[in-house]
Amino acid sequence: MSFGKAFLSSCLGALTAMVVFFLLTFLFFTALVAGLSDDKQVVVEDNSVLHLELDAQVTELEVDDPLAGLPFPGQQKRIGLIQLKQAIDDARQNDNIEGVYVEIRQPLTGFSSLEEIRRSLLDFRESGKWVVAYSEVMTEGAYYLASAADEVYLHPEGEMEFNGLSVSIGFYKKLLDKLEIKPQVFRVGEFKSAVEPFLLEELSKENRLQLTEMVNGIYDNILDNVAESRGIDRTRLEEISDQMLVRNADDALELKLVDGLLYQDEFHNVIREKLSIPEDEDIRFVKYKDYRKSFSTYKRSPNEVAVIVAEGTIVQGEGSQSDLEITAEKYVKEIRKARKNDNVKAIVLRVNSPGGAYTTSDMIWREVKLAAAEKPVIASMSDYAASGGYYIAMACDTIVAQPNTITGSIGIFGVMFDMSSFLGNKLGVTFDEVRTGDFGDLYTVTRPLTPAERNIIQRNLEKYYDSFTAKAAEGRSVSQEQILRVASGRVWTGQQALEHKLVDVLGGIDDAIRIAAEKANIADDYKVRYYPAPTTFIEQLMKGLETSARAGLVRQYVGDLYPMFERVRQVKQYEGIQARMPFEFEFH
């Protein structure tokens, strides 16, 4: 009987595997054929409207995905900020595009990226063309972007969030206590609070201070820009937000945050009026994905500005091969190639990173410094360029940041986890050792560190901090004492960083490219190319299958403990010397 059950189970398992394999194969080739057929250039007819659906994860560069739109679970729509800006700019110059329709509910990006898109929409409007925005629901970020439009419309029964920002930070202390994992923390600077989630259950006084100033700084910029776009007094706008006077769509209309409450068919009639077409005629909407295929950004020039996009966490070694990770192997090579290429007259380092591994940051900094000795190198900061993200940018000739960029956090920390109780009491695994000398196994998780070992690590951290601040002072052409006054791991907005001379110019990536071209004396004749080259679809697919297979094996092995395993794995990423932003958060 047991043999029969086992045999039947094996057969069913094999059959299931075959069905999944053939299903994946079918979907893959379907997507491949669809992708190939979609490669043909799109022709934009006259009297058309560019339709931007912006409820997506906005990353710096977009990766073409032939499987986009297929019913894969957990699939995340992504839009490249750079490609989106290129599309809006081309539409501005395209005589067949009459206007832009922005549809946005909840963009998955930071306020600096929204600032870049918003600026592109305002530039579009300056050409004399119109921008309209419509949605059933708008988050704070969605409304901030929509407020750049000539007219904003909301569904009659819709909702709009306009009640200020908050920052929420998760703390792991109780989790670690339950797991009997003891964090052994080392840091320099009272504001280097990245380790607080392991030690506390709430914000420290210093962390609360810097977060309060940071979130108020960001929101002040938002209120200033919305007040200007909507023609509402700044003080009145702040009152509306602080008292949450917008609680439904009628409130939004009465307070003049929107221009009308319309159902979608009524909103389409507004667009028809702008196009001067009858109500029964179809509107020629051109979706962003299709519009990208209607134009080319290729330009012939002997002069190149190389834009090297560094996005994601800075990691040691090869990382996970994700396009949202920064490794020394990849970025040192890209910067070196740009430095040695005679056609590349200037480099823009586009940074969107909360930091990460200290040594990796230093390796990239070194290559940036070498490049800056030979040709102009300009840093362009996106949503984040903090700690290690600031480190890799500080050797650039000029640093450009958005007012809402989160930067600074000049400081480092280290965490080593004593997992002896977790391993012994939870898993039943104990360790013993023999060693040479007193420090033969300094970096271990199987026992707590001795006072002498802790002293060695702390002194090393202080040495690294001194090196970090000295290099920052050199890059910014100020004294180390001046850097120390704004360091200690404290984060700043781009506006605050400008006041403290941590950045040079407020602006976006277009400003950084313009400055690079001017410094290289090629402002009248140059082309722009972006690096590193995006991974191909096949590479993405294979990485995805490999990751899914590995997760499946781990889940099968640990069973119900898998969520706990994932938590521990995430915490383990903080081990070692880190130049990382002191928190990971989302704006609400």
Q: How many domains does the chain have?
A: 2
Instruction: Let me know whether 457 and 570 are in one domain.
Output: yes
- Do the beta carbons of residue 230 and residue 255 sit within 8 Å? no
Which two tokens mark 291?
Answer: 């519009």
Instruction: Let me know whether 467 and 527 are in one domain.
Output: yes
- Do the beta carbons of residue 166 and residue 587 sit within 8 Å? yes
* pLDDT at position 587: 45
Instruction: Let me know whether 279 and 327 are in one domain.
Output: no
Q: Is residue 211 part of a domain?
A: no
Q: Is residue 173 part of a domain?
A: no
Name the strand (E) or helix (H) holding 183.
strand 182-187
Active-site option among 48, 241, 294, 387: 387
Instruction: Let me know whether 94 and 70 are in one domain.
Output: yes
Instruction: Let me know whether 527 and 394 are in one domain.
Output: yes
- Do the beta carbons of residue 87 and residue 292 sit within 8 Å? yes
* pLDDT at position 469: 97
48 is catalytic: no
* DSSP per-residue codes, 404-420: T-EEE----EEEEEE-H
- Domain boundary pick from 294, 312, 328: 294
387 is catalytic: yes
Q: Is residue 442 part of a domain?
A: yes
Determine the structural domain holding residue 117 and report its residue range.
48-163+244-294
CATH number for 515: 3.90.226.10
Burial of 43 per CB tally in 10 Å (0-12, 13-18, 19+): exposed
Q: Is residue 337 part of a domain?
A: yes
Active-site option among 85, 192, 289, 375: 192
541 SS3 class? helix
Q: Is residue 39 part of a domain?
A: no
- Domain boundary pick from 228, 261, 294: 294
* DSSP per-residue codes, 46-73: SSEEEEEE--SEEESS----TTTTS--T
* Torsion angle, alpha carbons of 62, 64, 70, 75, to 10: -30
* Mean pLDDT of each 10-residue bin along the chain, 588 residues long: 52 55 57 53 92 94 64 66 97 98 94 96 97 97 97 97 90 93 86 83 90 94 97 97 96 97 97 96 96 93 98 86 87 98 98 94 98 98 96 98 95 89 92 85 87 92 95 97 93 96 97 98 97 69 54 58 51 55 49
Strand order in the sheet with 313-314: 182-187, 413-418, 576-580, 355-357, 313-314, 325-326
Can you give the pTM of this predicted structure?
0.85
User: Regarding beta strands 406-408 and 344-353, do their DSSP bridges make them parallel or antiparallel, or are they unpaired?
Assistant: unpaired
Instruction: Let me know whether 415 and 466 are in one domain.
Output: yes
Q: Is residue 299 part of a domain?
A: no
Instruction: Let me know whether 434 and 290 are in one domain.
Output: no
* pLDDT at position 533: 84
SS3 content of the chain, % helix, strand, coil (to 5): 45, 20, 35
* pLDDT at position 588: 44
Q: Is residue 207 part of a domain?
A: no
Instruction: Let me know whether 340 and 270 are in one domain.
Output: no
* pLDDT at position 191: 73
Q: Is residue 472 part of a domain?
A: yes
* pLDDT at position 444: 86
Instruction: Let me know whether 346 and 417 are in one domain.
Output: yes
The alpha helices in 243-357, defined as continuous H runs, are 249-254, 264-275, 288-291, 328-340
Q: How far is CA 553 from CA 7, 382, 563, in A?
A: 22, 37, 14
User: What backbone phi and psi angles, to 5 degrees, belong to 403?
Assistant: -55, -30
Question: How many residues are present in the chain?
Answer: 588
Instruction: Let me know whether 265 and 332 are in one domain.
Output: no
Instruction: Let me know whether 270 and 331 are in one domain.
Output: no
Return the residue matching tokens 């110059």. Answer: 93
Instruction: Let me know whether 357 and 251 are in one domain.
Output: no
